[in-house]
Amino acid sequence: MLTEINFDGIIGPSHNYAGLSRGNIASASHAGDVSQPRAAALQGIEKMRHNLALGLPQGFFVPLDRPDAPWLRALGTTLEDAEGHLRAQAWSASSMWAANAATVSPAPDSADGKCHLTVANLVTMPHRSHEWPGTLAQLRLAFANPAFQVHAPIPAPFGDEGAANHMRLCSGHDGQGVEIFVHGVGGGRFPARQHLDASKAIARKHRLDPARTLFIRQSDSAIQSGAFHNDVVAVANEHVLFTHESAFEDREAAHAEIRSAFPAVEIVEVPATAVSLPDAIKSYLFNAQLVSLPDGGGPSTGLRTGMGLVLPTEAQATPAVWNWLEGMIAGNGPIRKLLPVDVRQSMANGGGPACLRLRVVADPATVDPRFLADEAKLDRIAGVVAKHWPEAIAPGDLASAPLASDVRKARSALLAELGLGELD
């Protein structure tokens, strides 16, 4: 049976604050801080436990091999000799944000009845541009069943940042949906990371119905305010679109297109007068997991299933955001529960709960079971993290050969524990 599975990226042992992500305000503001890789990974594992306890299927991806010595060799240098910015880019643990791993089109949306995944090329940011080979290897392993079709990345220069710029509306996860690709247009101080040509190419490769595929432009003001991906200002689940008033460049036209393609849509919009763009971005209000709760989450009729919002604790600490959310919950809307989680280490590097996960609608029986989580497996992962992940990494530590060796050994220990030696 088809169901939505959230695959979270396990936060890697090289997690550090180098401030590499231009346009990501949290990343820039914490540049040079001392990171806590062990605490970061354990926070991510606790988020997975939290979602399992809600009755939601949960999977994971493992960290990539870092620091990336082959990438440095391709640039004619080594970890020891590289300039500081290149060394930091080689160390990046940003593959933990699985929302940027790929774009996923479930089988009901594709003409061939397969679930299609296209690995994101991430070419806009140097520290992420070398992720896709390792990510592709995991995707081809996890989704090797004939029920899936895993595609290589869209070629440069057409930037693609994966599911973070993609939404899907449907009456149920196992039914045919409307897929919404959100792109940006460059020209400001911060880059637009998702190219329209990349989105259109993915739609063609995934064999989507043009009548049920939308291409909508993200607002320039959102991008220049620090919403580097659409999932910082909008998120969809089943028939609900939860969005900021300033998410799309032409709000009225975007809403009209969406309503025309999917008349059952329920748009829950946060007005800018209630929550400013800076507050929405600082709190990562929309970088939340909007999920369908197995117990319904409260009263429901027809399409009005009960939903929960798994959001960072930073939302509670932002008065305008939390006041608006409490008012929404007091009403009779589709979002019935607020479910805060602590992912502070990820948040400080610019990624909230939604960044950490890739949504895949599939029959769990068709997924390689080594990538599916349960409490016992999360216990084993947490044990490896507690034993092998560094407690802290300061900026100057990135030049340490012994630390680089320890980080690689930590990843190898995790792969051995999970029986994923072919990725080592």
Residues making up the binding site for substrate: 18-27, 100, 127-128, 193, 231, 349
**170 counts as catalytic:** no
DSSP 323-353: HHHHHHHHTTSSEEEEEEE--HHHHHTT--T
**229 counts as catalytic:** yes
Contact 15, 93 (CB under 8 A): yes
Catalytic residue among 15, 314, 355, 388: 355
Q: Coil, helix or strand for 416?
A: helix
Residues placed in the known binding site: 18-27, 100, 127-128, 193, 231, 349
Contact 190, 22 (CB under 8 A): yes
DSSP 95-123: GG-GGGTEEEE-GGGBTTS-EEEEE---T
Closest CA to 230 of 213, 247, 214, 246: 247
Catalytic residue among 161, 238, 249, 314: 161
Q: Cα separations (Å) of 320 from 106, 247, 279, 316, 352?
A: 36, 18, 8, 9, 18
Alpha helices in 2-125 (DSSP H): 25-29, 37-53, 69-74, 84-91
Catalytic residue among 30, 173, 229, 244: 229
Q: Coil, helix or strand for 274?
A: coil
**Cα dihedral sign for 323, 327, 330, 336?**
negative
Instruction: Quote the tokens at residue 215.
Output: 């291409």
Closest CA to 313 of 298, 296, 297, 325: 325
**166 counts as catalytic:** no
Angle at 59 between CA 179 and CA 349, to 5 degrees: 80
Contact 258, 169 (CB under 8 A): yes
Q: Indicate the angle between helix axes 375-388 and 37-53, nearest 10 degrees.
A: 170
Q: Coil, helix or strand for 151?
A: strand
Residue written as tokens 């070629």?
Answer: 155
Contact 396, 19 (CB under 8 A): no
Closest CA to 35 of 112, 88, 110, 98: 88
Contact 244, 234 (CB under 8 A): yes
Residues annotated as part of the active site:
161, 229, 355
